[in-house]
Every structure is written in C-alpha cells, then in structure tokens.
Structure 1
Amino acid sequence: MVTPLPVLDTDPDPSFAELLAARPHLEMHAFDGLVMEDVPLARIAEVAGTPTWVYSAGALRRRARALKAALDGAGLRASVHYAVKANSNLAVLRVLAAEGLGADVVSEGELRAARAAGIPASTIVFSGVGKTERELRLALAEDILQINIESAEEAGMLSALAASLGRTARVALRVNPDVDARTHAKITTGKSENKFGVAIDDAPALYARLATLPGIEPVGVATHIGSQITSGMAAYRAAYACLAELVQALRGAGLPVKHVDCGGGLGIPYRDEPAPLPEALAGAIKTTLGPLGLPVMLEPGRWIAGPAGVLLASVVLQKQGAARRFLVLDAAMNDLVRPAMYEAWHGILPVSPVAAASPLTPADVVGPVCETGDTFARGRALPSLTPGALVAFLDAGAYGAAMSSTYNMRPLAAEVLVDGDRFAVVRDRQGFDEMLAGQRQPAWLGNPQP
C-alpha cells in the first residue's frame, strides 16, 4: 500500500507525487516512508547519521544502459566516458565501470580515482584547460586513451614532455565552436569568450602543427559546449555541424582523424522542466556527424549520476519569523552548494509517510551556515516538521558531494550506496580530528592553552 500524497492546485511547483513518479528508484511506502530501491532512507539515517549522500546503484545502471541503447539504436559506433567531476565516489565509479563506461577526467585526483575503481587506462580521456606537467606525466605513464589539447601552448608543453620521456601522446584538439548552449552562464563552455578550447577558425592550422610535433599523435577533434543543456538539440546540432566541417577540411588536407569527441552536457529535469532524451542527442549526432563514418565519444556526467542521488538531512528546528516560516536543517551550502551558486532548484521531500500526507504551507528551507545565501528554497510547500524529522533533496547525485567543502569547519558528509535491499557506507563521515590533522602551529606561537 502506498500512502496518498497531497497535491496543491495553487502551487506552481510539482507535487510530491509528481516528483516521485519521475524517479522510479524512489517510492513513498505507507509504513517505511521514503524508500530508495528497497531500503528505507530512515534506516540509512539511523546507521549513517545526517547529512548523508545516498546513491542508487540501480538508477546508475539504468541510465548508463539507456544512453548506450540510444546510441546503439541510432547505429552509431560510440563509446561513453563518464565525467568523473560529477561524482567521483569510488563505488559510483565501480558501478559504472561494470557497465562498460570509460572515464573523462580533469585532474590527477580524478585520474587516480578512475584507475582505483578499475576503469581501464585505455578508456580514459583527460580534459581541462590547465593540466599541469605532473598531471601530464601521470597520463603518459598510464598510457591513457586520449588527452584533449586546449591550446597551442599546451600542445608545445606536452610535446616536449612526451618526447623527453620517449612516449607518444594520443591527442584530440578541443575546439570552441562559439555556440550558445543557452544554459547557466557559469556552466557554458562553448562560446568565444569562454576559456575552453581553441577557436574553430584556428583549428586547422593547429591540428596540422600537432601532426609535426614529436611525441604527439593527433587522433581526433573534440568539443563540449556546456552543462545542464535542456533547451533542445539546436545547440548540439550547430556545434557538431562545425565539427563535421572541420573534419572534412582536415581530411582534405591529408590529416588523420580517427574519431570525434562530442563532449557531454545533456541536462536533467530538476523540477518539471522539459529535458531532451538521449535518443534526441543520438539523433543529432547521427544527422551531423554520422556521414563522416567515424566513431564518436560522449562524456556525460550529470545525466547519469544526478537523478541517482539524494542528500538526506535532518530538521534542526522550525522557526517562525515575522513573515516567514523557516525550516533549519543540519545540511548547509557547504554540503549542497548548487542553490547558492547557480540558483538551482531541487525537489525536497519529507521522509516520513505521515509528514508526506500532512497539510502543506510555505517555508524557507535553510542551513545553519552564517550566510544568507545558505538557503535551499524559498516559499516551498512543505508540512510542519519537528526537530529530527528527515528530508531528502532530490537529484543530488551530481555536483553535490563533489563540490562540497568544510566551510564553517563543517565535516564532509557521509556517502552511502544502495543496491536493491542492501546498502553500505562508501565514504565515512569526516571527523573533526581529521579536519585538524593536516594543520600545523609554528613553534614560535608557543603551546596552545587548554
């Protein structure tokens, strides 16, 4: 039996029922409350405490398979390289590695995490505008699949390094097609004013130069126009059409192009906004790049991991202000920074089945950090919740834990993986002693007084 969930006709936000209907790995049970797969979230809170990130292995698998099926259905020769920056937890990476996904990394730490999770070096792409010599040395030592070059300066640095080590680096040239992905200004990456890639008009000459550099093997071209793209396929088609023209020009000049890296950025519906399906992206790739007859690479992150995770938090207190009701949680902007940084909307569900069926009134949902920006939602329709009551932030599996910090000396939250009726803590909650362990007090300051 499933507890009926209230719907407010005057509330422009989706109801609890509508939010759950779009997220099949979550369900509200009459007795157990909000359940992920077959595990009550209240049980996880009892074991791991709050705030805690909780990820669904089943959702990760379903979304990875759905994307691969869409690409196969379009008749594309495609490989998928998960963007580790979205969620770098080793258990998450391990689940996706078992689904045959490679990795797209942007730092030494992410490369090491991908390898520790069992992702083969032969399926790893290293992206990013500012790779250090140390990072490039590691990429060469691991003999990864591809390094995406983003400037002439980086090409020269990598060539000198690879030649000195007696290595050959397989590289793709990342181009900036000057296409507006119509996403948040802070996560657009394909416009001319952005720091990423090289101008597409400069690409033919630089690609030809790559072919002459020692220690460099140019194998393709790449682009990535932004993150959380929900405005349809027009921006993708425009960017990929530019890539197709570039590949044809390179081929015409007798230069080798073995594959095309299409990047990622496919958005998800955090609220009830329309979002394109992977079949639409596969169709855009087939239409624009299919005639080239080349394999393609995709680097999704948010689309796979975002809906698979929630942030579980407890109510510290309910405060009635002069004009507003405040729900103060033990989670804060240091845990989930997206609302403060991007004005992002996340669904918030009570975990208790009784609370989920109770009358709803507007509330501002806030954290305890000493910043007015530590606000998750304003005027959100929620029931009255007493101290200790649990809530879950939806779609927190991507750019949640990965972007968290210890601001206000708040420890990093625990992370949990759910798989069917099993769950395990896959990252311990940070302890206060751990937070202080790396700090040193110079001898000239004397001994601290107790």
Structure 2
Amino acid sequence: MILTKKDFFSHPFFKSVKLNRLSRFVENYRTPVFIYSAEAVLRQINLFKKNIPGKFKLFYAQKSNPNPSLLRFINTTGIGCDTASLGEIKSAIKEGFSKDRIMFTGPGKTEKELSYAISNNLLSINVESFHEIEIINRIAKRKERIQDIMLRINPAFEAGETTKIIGGKGTSKFGIDYEQIPEVISGLKNLQNVNLCGIHIFNSSGILDYRKILKNTKDVIRITIELEEKFNLNFKRIDLGGGFGIPYSKAEKELDIKKLGNGLKKFINKKEIRERLKNKELVFELGRYISAYSGVYLTKVLYTKKSCGKNIAIIDGGIHHLLRPALIGQSFPVINLSAILQNRKSLTRSYLIAGPLCTSLDEIDSDALMNEVTPGDILAVLNCGAYGYTESMPLFLTQIKSTEYFMNK
C-alpha cells in the first residue's frame, strides 16, 4: 500500500510524535529500533472509555507487547492486565498493576505458575481443562485458600476471525468444549477449594466490523445466562475476550468504536438483560487495539537491486525482529522516512522489502509502494506496537538485535 501525505499525518503515531523528534533517530541511527508512543496508547484507551459503556471493564493483553515502560504507562490509566505466563504476572506486578487487576490465562499453565498465582491472590485464573481445575484445587487446599476461577469455553459459534490465531469454532487447544460443560460442573461439586466465578470466551482476533463484535458479545452474554439457569449458578464476571482489530491497509476501515458502544449500550439496557447483569462485571481483554498504533519499527536500507524486473530493498532488519509477515502473512504499512524528512521529490515505486537472513521467508512486504529508495535510507514500518519484537526470533543467525524506545511526552 502507499500512504498519501494525508494518510501519513493522520496516523495515530504521527499525530502524537512529530517528525522532528524522529529525525534524531534517523541522524543517529545505529541498529533497528522499535519506537513506542505513550500518547498513541492513551488515545486508544480513551476511545474505549469514551465510547464503550462503563459496565465493560478494560484489560490489557500483555502478550501483544510486554515492554516494561509501556506496561508501566498503561498501569497509570487504571485498566487491568491479562497475563499468560509466570513472567507476565511478575512483569505486571513489577510495573505497578495491583494484584486484583491481574487475570491469568493460558492452556498450559505449570504447577509452579499456578502456585504463584494462587499465593498472590490474583483477580482470577481462567481455566482451560478439568485437569487444571483439579491441580488448582489441590494447590489451594494446601495453601488453605479458595481460588476464584473462570471457565474458558469453546462455543459452537464463530465471531468472524479469518486467521487461526486465537481459536474459535472447532478443534482447539484452548478451553473446554461447550458439550463438556455438564461434566465439568458436576465435577466441581467435589472440589472445595475453587470457586467458579465466571465464564471466559475468546474466539476472535482482528475484527474490524463492529457488528460482528456486537453479535459475539450478545451471544457470549446469552450463553452465560443460559448456563446460570441450567445449572443454578450465579457468575460475577464475564470475560468476553478481545478481537478488536486495527486496519493494516487502505482497503480496511477502522473499527467504528462509537457504533459498537451504542449497540452494546442498547443491548445491556434491555430490561431482561439489565436485570441479569446487575451484579456482574463484563471484561474485554484487548492487546492489538491498545498498542499496535503506538509502535513504528525503523530499519536501514543496505542495498537496492532488481530481480526479474522487481525492485528490491535489502534492509538490516527483518523477520528476526518482526516475524508476523512470515508467520501469518500479515503485511504492514511501510514508508521511506528519510525521503519524507528530506522532503524528497521522487517517484513512487514498488519494492520487495527483504531482510538479511538466509531464508526467502525474510520479507517485510512483497509490494511496498513508497518514495524511491536509495542505500542509507531509513524506512519506518507502522503499526508495530503489537506482536512485533516480542513475537519474533532475535537469536536467529546471531544477527544484530533491535532496541526499543518508549516516548512519553
């Protein structure tokens, strides 16, 4: 894709970080660097708070970007933190999140991790198998505690996910199949040190159509109400997962958060729904939506060449820092930052942007349209604040590692 000047300056990152602040990174460039903007993160959190009814609480999915400075800043906004490992729990606590604002999720928790979570009295542990529940009960009994758990369910419906990232309908390593719930509920009667306090359904990722998120939210809430009635239960929390997407190309439109909020407000204010949700907390756990816009990845052009008529730019960065293009075929907007800073009047060309690794998988974009590139130019890859460096393979080929920089004011 090509970004026009209007697109460029309307992007959330460049609304918050002026070009003159980036120029020093270009002038003093040493190695590839991820730059994160606090203001761009705050923009997304405020959009959620402004448009989504207050009944819905926001948690940050730390897996999208665990940068310590970023975590520390997000904590100041008062939202919660969703964690998926012992390391993430410790990071959340270290960066200031109170333990009653931390949830622990994941299909393969070790006994050491579960013991730590129980000892630290986290808000809840979202469980994904009956065997896990039995282990939690045993540990909690030994510690003379009663542990709140939320049951992650694989529903018999989809939310509109197009890539297999987080699960959904069908065979999945995540959660418990809907058909297995009666057996699990029955088994819980014999476990005295766990308290089933809620339901967790996370079956979508990267959705831009607010109607799909709205429908999925309604379906999850209705399933929860059905389970309460069927098994005479009273949940205090419903974890609706995430799924809020951001656009990565001009063909995609930004999620209409205002229309989503209006739809949610209308639904939860229906008399029969309002009564059933009266004492319940509703949770969205969002990662990409909060942090993606906040990050850019700067990388230097080493060589330019042609192959079979195609322009190629070889850069010093690549999928060892930003794996998503190879992992799931995710493309990212790329701009020639040097050309923009120099106000260079040059032709727009299509480039294959490829890294230095000895694999043909090492491509950031196979058709990046931008100002003409010359060796030494610094390119900026946008929307890298989520699932960037944290998801990559920096040890491959013992290449140079990227650095990270957090901008706050």
> Normalising to structure 2: TM-score of the pair?
0.91
Pair 1:67-2:55 in alignment: no
Contact (CA 8 Å) 2:201, 2:220: kept in 1 or not? Answer: no
Pair 1:370-2:351 in alignment: no
In structure 1, distance between residues paired with 2:93 and 2:19: 30
In structure 2, distance between residues paired with 1:308 and 1:209: 45
Q: For 1:223-238, what aligned pairs fall within 5 Å after superposition?
A: 223-234=201-212, 237-238=215-216
Pair 1:115-2:93 in alignment: yes
Pair 1:396-2:384 in alignment: yes
Please name the residue that 2:105 is paired with: 127
Of 389, 404, 413 in structure 1, the residue corresponding to residue 402 of structure 2 is 413
Residue 135 and residue 171 in structure 1: after superposition, are their counterparts in 2 closer, same or farther (change >3 A)?
Answer: same
Please name the residue that 2:38 is paired with: 57
Residue 280 and residue 200 in structure 1: after superposition, are their counterparts in 2 closer, same or farther (change >3 A)?
Answer: farther
In structure 2, distance between residues paired with 1:219 and 1:375: 45
Of 262, 276, 283 in structure 1, the residue corresponding to residue 240 of structure 2 is 262
In structure 2, distance between residues paired with 1:139 and 1:370: 42
Please name the residue that 1:167 is paired with: 145
Report sequence identity in percent.
27
Counterpart residue type for residue 406 of structure 2: L
Residue 357 and residue 188 in structure 1: after superposition, are their counterparts in 2 closer, same or farther (change >3 A)?
Answer: farther
Residue 359 and residue 307 in structure 1: after superposition, are their counterparts in 2 closer, same or farther (change >3 A)?
Answer: same
Pair 1:195-2:173 in alignment: yes
> How many pairs were matched up?
398
Please name the residue that 2:121 is paired with: 143
In structure 2, distance between residues paired with 1:120 and 1:211: 31
In structure 2, distance between residues paired with 1:155 and 1:342: 33
Give the Å deviation of 1:101: 1.4
In structure 2, distance between residues paired with 1:356 and 1:395: 24
Residue 377 and residue 245 in structure 1: after superposition, are their counterparts in 2 closer, same or farther (change >3 A)?
Answer: closer
In structure 1, distance between residues paired with 2:349 and 2:87: 44
Give the Å deviation of 1:14: 4.1
Counterpart residue type for residue 164 of structure 2: K
Say which is worse superposed, 116-125 or 314-323, in terms of deviation: 314-323
Listed as ranges, the gaps of 5+ residues in structure 1 are: 1-12, 28-34, 421-450
In structure 2, distance between residues paired with 1:321 and 1:206: 59
Higher relative contact order (CA 8 A, sep 6+): 2
Residue 207 and residue 176 in structure 1: after superposition, are their counterparts in 2 closer, same or farther (change >3 A)?
Answer: same
User: What are the superposed Cα offsets for residues 277-314 of structure 1, whole Å, 9 maximum, x if unpaired?
Assistant: 33344445445566132220110000010011000111
SS at match of 1:122: helix
Contact (CA 8 Å) 2:3, 2:335: kept in 1 or not? Answer: no
Contact (CA 8 Å) 1:182, 1:229: kept in 2 or not? Answer: yes
Please name the residue that 2:325 is paired with: 339
In structure 2, distance between residues paired with 1:242 and 1:304: 22
Please name the residue that 2:84 is paired with: 106
In structure 2, distance between residues paired with 1:289 and 1:199: 26
SS at match of 1:267: coil
Root mean square deviation, CA, Å: 2.2
Residue 355 and residue 390 in structure 1: after superposition, are their counterparts in 2 closer, same or farther (change >3 A)?
Answer: farther
Pair 1:79-2:60 in alignment: no
Say which is worse superposed, 229-238 or 260-269, in terms of deviation: 229-238
Counterpart residue type for residue 344 of structure 1: Q
Contact (CA 8 Å) 1:318, 1:387: kept in 2 or not? Answer: yes
Say which is worse superposed, 134-143 or 314-323, in terms of deviation: 314-323
Of 357, 373, 394 in structure 2, the residue corresponding to residue 385 of structure 1 is 373
Please name the residue that 1:30 is paired with: none
Contact (CA 8 Å) 1:404, 1:412: kept in 2 or not? Answer: no
Counterpart residue type for residue 402 of structure 2: A
Contact (CA 8 Å) 2:2, 2:369: kept in 1 or not? Answer: no
Contact (CA 8 Å) 2:148, 2:197: kept in 1 or not? Answer: yes
Pair 1:43-2:8 in alignment: no
Contact (CA 8 Å) 2:100, 2:123: kept in 1 or not? Answer: yes
User: What are the superposed Cα offsets for residues 298-342 of structure 1, whole Å, 9 maximum, x if unpaired?
Assistant: 100000100110001111111233421111111111111111111
In structure 2, distance between residues paired with 1:102 and 1:180: 26
SS at match of 1:26: helix
> Normalising to structure 1: TM-score of the pair?
0.83
Contact (CA 8 Å) 1:365, 1:378: kept in 2 or not? Answer: yes
In structure 1, distance between residues paired with 2:59 and 2:335: 32
Q: For 1:158-307, what aligned pairs fall within 5 Å after superposition?
A: 158-210=136-188, 212-234=190-212, 237-238=215-216, 240-251=218-229, 253-272=231-250, 273-283=252-262, 285-286=264-265, 291=273, 292-293=276-277, 294-307=280-293
User: What are the superposed Cα offsets for residues 147-189 of structure 1, whole Å, 9 maximum, x if unpaired?
Assistant: 0011111111111111122122111111111333333433141
Give the Å deviation of 1:40: 2.5
In structure 2, distance between residues paired with 1:189 and 1:288: 26
Give the Å deviation of 1:45: 4.1
User: What are the superposed Cα offsets for residues 342-401 of structure 1, whole Å, 9 maximum, x if unpaired?
Assistant: 111111111122366421122111101111111111232223322221110000000001
SS at match of 1:187: coil
